[in-house]
Chains A and B, each alone.
Chain A
Amino acid sequence: MQQKKILLTFLASFFSIIIYAQTFSISGVIKDSSSSETLQNAMVSTFINGKFLDAYPNNYGFYSLAVSPGEYKLRVMMPGYNTQTIVVKVVDANIKLDILLAKKITTLGTVVLKGKKDGEDVQKVEMSTNKLDIGQIKKIPALLGEVDIVRSLQLLPGVSTVGEGASGFNVRGGNIDQNLVLLDEAPVFNSSHLFGFFSVFNPDAVRNVTLVKGGIPAAYGGRLSSVLDVRSKEGNLKKFQGAGGIGAIFSRIAIEGPLIKDKSSFVLAARRSYIDVLAKPFLPTDLKDAVFNFWDITAKVNYVFSPLDRVFISSYFGRDKFGFPGAFNFDWGSQTLTARWNHIFNSKLFLNATAIYSKYDYRIIFGSGNSRFDWNSDITNYSVKGDFNYFLNNKHTLDFGAMTIIYDFRPGTAVASQSNGTSFDFSLPNKYAQESGIYIDDDFRINKKVNVKLGLRISQFSYRGSGKAYYYGENPEDRLNQPKPLLRVDSFGRRKSIANYWNFEPRAAIKYQINELSSLKGSYNRMAQYIHLISNTTASVPLDVWLPTTNNIKPELADQIAVGYFRNFGKKVLFEFSTEIYYKWLQNQINYIDGADLLLNERVEGELLFGTGRAYGAEFFIKKNSGKFTGWISYTLARTELLVKGINNNNYFPSRFDRPHNINIVASYEFNPRWTVSSTFTYQSGTPATFPTSQYAVQGYSIPHNALNSRNDVRIPAYHRLDISAIHELGKPKKDRKWNHEIVFGAYNVYNKRNPFSIYFRNPAALGAVKNEAIRFSVIGSIVPSITYNFKF
C-alpha cells in the first residue's frame, strides 16, 4: 500500500515535468585551467527573470542550465579558485560552454584548497553528508604523521570506531560492513592496511571524499549505513607534477601528467612500508627473513576521445604481508579495476557507464614442505552500471540508471598436507550470487524555498548454484544460542536459483529554505544489504569472510529518518552550523551463537542468530572554513541497541560500538605562510563490555561465569586523546615555485593516555597465582611522536 503511494507520487512528478515549455540550454564541463581536471564542486550562478539561479555540476564536472533566449551573465565560483564571470548570448540554439577556472595562489606558491563552497550546506537539499577535501584532511594531525582518510572521517559527527587499530568505521550505529566504500566507484571490501591503523587510500592520489550518512541518493544501494565515495585524481592534462613523502612507517610517491597533451593523462601513486627492512639488522638470525610490510599502487589513465566522450581506467592493488618463513605466511589485499565512459548525449543528458572488477583475498600458510596447511579465501565481483543525469530544466534534474553485480564467494579453500605425502582438502564450496538494481531520483526545485528529492530504487538479489543449500531446524527456547540442527542439504546445479529477494527502497529528501543563511531539511531512506561480513570479534580481522544472503540469511534492512537545521553565521560565512537528529530501524541483523565457529565451517549459517536493532542520536557540527584559524567541533549523542533472541535474556543490549558521547575538536592555525599548527581532541564514551561475576571449577579449569547472563551491560572507561602537529614549509618564499616541500612534526596521544581498547579477564600465567585478574588492554599506550617529509613538484 505504502509502495503504491510512493509510485503515484513519482508519476505525479513526471507529469509535472512534461508540461514545461521548451527552452534552450547552456551546458558544458567545468575544468581547472592549469591541469584540465574536471571540477565537481563549482557552482554556476546567473540572474534570470529577476531571480538568481544556481546550477551544480555532476560528479564529472558537467553542468546544464535551461534558459530562454537572451543575454546572461554567468558567475562561476569554486572554493580555492578565482571566480569567473562570462557573458553568454542565447539566440536560437543550445550553447556548449566549457569553463576554465584558475586556482588561487598564495604568496608562497601553495594552492588554497577547500572542500566546497562556503555555506553550501545550507543551500543544497542533501543532508547528513560530509565532504572532505584532501587538502583539509592533510592538515589533521595523523598517527605517525601518515595522513589517513578513514581516521579523519572518525572525527566527523555520527562516525565512530570500536577503538584504535580496529579496521573500518561505524556510521550511525552501523557495522563496518554496512558502509559502501567506493574507490573510483569500485567497492572495497577491506579498507585497512595493518589491521586498522591505516586505510588503503593513498592521500596523494585522492582528490575528494564524500561520506553520506543519511538521505542516501537512489543511485546508491547495497549497504545499510553509509556511502563513502572516494574519488582519485584524474591526472593533469597539461604538465607533469608529483608529490610524495618519507615517513616513519612508509614512503609515498605520486606522479601525474599528460600522455598526450589535452587528450590523455595519467596518475600513478605508490606506497610501501619498510619496518621489516629497518628492523632486519636488529633481529636474530633465524628471524632475519621475517616479512612485515604492506604496499599499494593506485593508477589511473584517461583519454578524451571527443568533447563529448571521455574514458577513464583506474585501478588499485594493495597487499599486506606477514610471515616467518617456514612457520607461517599471511598476506591479504584488495584489487580493483574500474573502466568508465562519460558521454554527453546532448546539452541535457549525461551518461556515466562503468564496468568494475573488485576482489579481496587472503592466504595463510602454516608450516612448510610436506607438512603444511594452506588456506585462502576471497570475494570477487564483476559489475556493470549505467548512470544518467538528465538536466530536464531548471526545476528538475533526474538521475536514473541500472546496475548489476555478479559475486563469487570463496569462503575458504584449505588443504592440509601430511608428512606421509597425502593431503586432505577441507575446502568449503564456492557461493554465487547476483545483485541488480534500477533507480530513479528526481531533484525537484519547487520554488526558491522548497526543494524535494524523491527517489526509488528497486533491488533484486539471487543466490544460486552451483552449490549446496543447508536447511536448519529451530532450537528450543532455552538453547537458542547453540548450533541449529541441520535438517538436510540440497545440491543445486549451475545457475539454479536457491533463494531470491526483491526490495523496494524509497528515498526522499526535502529542504525548506528559511532565509539566505538557514534551512530546514528532512530525509527518509530505506536501504537493503545483501552481502554480509561474518565477524564476531571485537575488531574485524583480515580473515573475516563475506557471505551472501542465502536461504538462511535474509537481506538486512534499514529505515532511517533524519531532520536537520543548517545555519551559517558571519558576514562572509565564517561559521557553518548544523544539527541533525536521526532514528534508524534495523531488521535481519546478524549475530552469533556463543562460541560460533565462523571460519572453514560448512555449517556456519546454523551458528548465526538474527535480530532487530534501533539506532538514534543527535549530531551537532560547527565549522570554520576561512581565515587563519580553521577547524570544527562535532558532538554526537547516540545509542545503538540490538534485540536478538537468545542473547541478553532476550532484552535489548547495546552494540559493541555504542558510544553515547562523542566529541571531536579539530583546529588549525596558520601562524604565517611557513608555519601551520593543528590539533585534534577526541573524547568518546567507553564501549560496552560483558564482565564475569563468578567462576567455577571443572576438571581443574577455572571457568568464568556471568550469573546475570547479560551482554554488554557494563562500560569500559572513556577514551580521550589529544594530537598536535606542525607543518613547516621549507624553501624560499617565491611565487610560482616549481618545488615545494614541507616537514611535518607530529605527536599522537600527547598526554600519554593509556586508553583502554578493552578490559579482559584471565587466569594469571604465573605459577601458584590463585587470583584471577582484570586486564586493561591499550593498543597505543604512549605518546607517538613522528616526523614526515613531504614534497611536491
Chain B
Amino acid sequence: MNKSIFIIAIIATFFCSCEDVIDVKLNPDKKELVVDAVITNQPGVQTIRLSQTIGYFDDRGSNPPIIGATVILLDADSFPYFFTESGPGRYVYPDGADFNRIGENYGLIIITGLDTFLSISNMAAAANIDTILWEKRPATSFSVERYEAEFMGNDLVGLGNTYWIRTYKNDSFLGKPSNINIAYDASFSPGANYDGIEFIVPIRRLNLNDGENPYRLNDKITVEILGISNEFFLFLRLAAEQINNQGLFATPPANVPSNIINQSRSSKNKANGFFVIGESKIRTAIITE
C-alpha cells in the first residue's frame, strides 16, 4: 500500500511544493558482483546474467559484464547443469532442461576469480490464472478512454505462497518499477492472512494496468504468475520501494538484501542481486469489444 502517493498529490496541489534536479556528491562507489538469475519451468533458453555495480549517476545499463565465470545450477540430487557464456556476462542453459521439481531446493554456484558464491532457492508453485477480463472505461480528468484489464485466479491454499505477476502488453513487458506486482498469498503482506482466495483488487486489476500506457481494442494481454520464494518477494518489494522512495513520507533508504553468499572466508567481496527458481503459468487474451 503506497500510502504516500496520494497524500503528496494533495499537498502538492495546495502548496507550491517543488522538485528540482540538483547535483549531489556521493560517497565513493565500490565494485561488487551482481547476479540476475530468475529461472522458470517455461520451455526455452534459461539465462543468468553476471555484472558489476556502477556509480549511481553512471548510465543505466552500462554495468560491465563479468566474463569467464563458472556458473552451475544444481538440483535437489546435486545433478549439475553447466551454464555456458553465450555473450559477455550472459550465461545460458539450452532449451530442453526440465526445471520442474516444485517444492525442492535448487542451488546456484558461481565461481569468479578467487571467490565462490553459493545461493539456494526453493522452487515455488504458481497459482492458476482462470481467466482474463476487460472492461471499457470512459475518459476522465485523469485518463483517456481505455480498457481496464483484470485476471481472475485464486491464491494456492496454505499460508506463505508468494508470487510475481508479470504483465505483457503486445508481448512487451510492463517493466516500470511502479508496475512491479507481487503477492503474498492473495494480498500484500504476510500479516494479512489472506489465504486461498481470489487475489485482491489492486493485485488482480490495478497493477495490470499502466495508466500512461492503457490497453486499446485488439491489444494482446499476457499475464504470467511466477511462484517465487518469500526471500525474493522481499527483494522485489524492497527494490520497488527503493527505486522510487521520495517525498515527505519516504522511508530510510536501505540496501536490498541478496541471497548470493560468498563462500570464500578470506574474501571480503560481496554480491548483490538474486537467484530464484519458480513455476510459471501464463495466460493470454486479445481485447475485443
Contact = CB atoms under 8 A, between A and B. Distances in A.
Given A595-B238, A777-B17, A601 B56 contact: no
A235 B93 CA distance: 83
Interface in B182-206: 187-194, 197-198, 200-201
Interface in B234-289: 234, 237-239, 241-257, 272-274
A284 B141 contact: yes
A483 B62 CA distance: 34
B192 A696 contact: no
A772 B239 contact: no
B48 to A, nearest CB: 11
- Contact residues of B: prevailing secondary structure: loop
Nearest to B17: A779
A694 B255 contact: no
Interface string B130-145: 0000000000110000
Contacts of B274: 698
Contact of A782 (B16, B173, B175): B16
B72 to A, nearest CB: 20
Contacts of A782: 16, 18
Contact of B7 (A195, A693, A757): A195
A198 interface: no
Given A367-B201, A690-B253, A696-B54, A286 B20 contact: no
Given A696-B51, A779-B11, A707 B22 contact: no
A538 B253 CA distance: 11
Interface residues of A, number: 92
Interface stretch (B23-31, B75-83, B96-104): B23-31
Given A691-B26, A698-B273, A763-B244, A770 B60 contact: yes
B32 interface: yes
Interface in A681-707: 689-707
A727 to B, nearest CB: 24
B255 A165 contact: no
A537 interface: yes
Interface string B218-244: 000000000000000010011101111
Given A595-B237, A603-B191, A700 B201 contact: no
Contacts of B56: 691-695, 704-705, 761, 772
A703 B242 contact: yes
A533 to B, nearest CB: 14
A703 B24 contact: no
A432 to B, nearest CB: 19
Interface in B37-54: 38, 49, 51-54
Q: Which of A538, A705, A760, A775 has the most CB of B within 10 A?
A: A705
B132 to A, nearest CB: 15
A165 B11 contact: yes
A482 B234 CA distance: 9
A594 B3 contact: no
B250 A705 contact: no
Interface stretch (A34-42, A48-56, A126-134, A708-716): A708-716
A272 B249 CA distance: 26
A473 interface: no
Contacts of A772: 56-57, 60
Nearest to A543: B3
B79 to A, nearest CB: 26
B85 interface: no
A595 B251 contact: yes
A600 interface: yes
A424 B197 contact: yes
B114 interface: no
Contacts of B180: 701
Contacts of A275: 14
B11 A595 contact: no
Nearest to B30: A707
A287 B30 CA distance: 50
A595 B241 contact: yes
Given A541-B3, A702-B60, A774 B23 contact: yes
A70 to B, nearest CB: 65
Contacts of A705: 32, 53, 56, 255-256, 272
B177 interface: yes
Interface string A743-772: 000000000001001111111000000111
B197 A707 contact: no
Contacts of B257: 479, 481-482, 594
Contacts of A428: 191
A479 B49 CA distance: 25
Q: Which of A373, A599, A696 has the most CB of B within 10 A?
A: A696
Nearest to A478: B261
A714 B27 contact: yes
B254 A698 contact: no
Contacts of B253: 689-692, 704, 706, 761
A697 B30 contact: no
B58 interface: yes
A282 to B, nearest CB: 11
Contact of B19 (A704, A775, A784): A775
Interface string A564-601: 00000000000000000000000000001011110111
B61 interface: yes
A422 to B, nearest CB: 8
A708 B27 contact: yes
B27 A780 contact: no
A712 B252 CA distance: 8
Contacts of B255: 594, 705-706, 709
Contacts of A479: 257
Contacts of B27: 691, 693, 706-708, 710, 713-714
Contacts of B3: 541, 543, 599
Interface string A773-793: 111111111101000000000
Given A416-B201, A603-B190, A761-B56, A707 B10 contact: no
A594 B254 contact: yes
B272 to A, nearest CB: 5
Nearest to A708: B27
B38 A775 contact: no
A589 B189 CA distance: 25
Interface in A476-496: 479, 481-483
Nearest to A428: B191
A363 to B, nearest CB: 14
A195 B11 contact: yes
Contacts of A697: 34, 36, 49, 51, 60-61, 63
Nearest to B188: A597
Interface string B58-91: 1111110000000000000000000000000000
A777 B140 CA distance: 29
A656 B251 CA distance: 11
A597 B191 contact: yes
Contacts of A543: 3
B201 A601 contact: no
A694 B43 CA distance: 35
Given A538-B250, A541-B249, A596-B251, 16 more contacts: A275-B14, A428-B191, A543-B3, A600-B1, A656-B252, A691-B27, A692-B253, A698-B274, A701-B180, A705-B56, A707-B53, A760-B245, A761-B253, A776-B21, A781-B17, A781-B18
- The 8 closest A-B CB pairs, nearest first, are A601-B191, A594-B254, A602-B191, A781-B18, A707-B30, A774-B24, A696-B34, A537-B249
Interface of A: 163, 165-166, 195, 197, 275, 284, 286-287, 292, 322, 328, 330, 367, 371, 373, 416, 418, 420, 424, 426, 428, 479, 481-483, 536-539, 541, 543, 592, 594-597, 599-604, 656, 689-714, 754, 757-763, 770-782, 784
29 contacts: A195-B7, A275-B14, A373-B201, A481-B254, A482-B234, A541-B3, A541-B249, A594-B252, A594-B255, A595-B238, A696-B272, A697-B49, A697-B63, A698-B239, A698-B274, A699-B36, A700-B173, A700-B175, A702-B61, A703-B256, A705-B56, A710-B27, A757-B248, A758-B247, A758-B248, A775-B20, A776-B19, A777-B247, A780-B17
